[in-house]
Amino acid sequence: MAKILIVEARFYAHLNDMLLAGARAAIERAGHEHEILTVPGALEVPAAIAIADESGDYDAFVALGVIIRGETYHFEVVSNESARGIMDLTLTGLAIGNGILTVENEAQALVRADPGELDKGGGAAEAALSLLALRERFLA
């Protein structure tokens, strides 16, 4: 049984609740344990994963959050840098499913976050578990 850490940027609580529900359901269906760590925003997610990984307590990670485009360049910075940080960590061998939504508006986020719709939280958890299986296959 693997232990998965879900790291969520809890800026939009109602959307995160849906992402979390999907991720938790996918992890539990697969028979694994999980914990949840909340950080202020998407930029903090990669750092939190890197710090948590140093503990050696987790086998995989799920990154969750929602970034909605605003009127400034901040959207691009947060979207790009959080994705880059997560990708950099995956290239070091960490199993991370990226479920940080980057959307134009709340309506798009609702469809993607809802476990009964696109279930991007569940998809991120499944991606993390898939990478964990690959790591175990090739590095065990």
Alpha carbons 139 and 87: distance in angstroms, whole number? 19
Contact by Cβ (8 Å): 108, 120: no
Q: Is 32 a catalytic residue?
A: no
Catalytic residue, candidates 14, 32, 34, 74 = 74
Residues contributing to the annotated binding site for 5-amino-6-(D-ribitylamino)uracil: 11, 42-44, 66-68, 98
Contact by Cβ (8 Å): 64, 102: no
Quote the tokens at residue 33: 């344990």
- Phi/psi zone of residue 119: left (φ > 0), alpha (ψ -120 to 50 degrees), beta? left
- Could you list the active site residues? 74
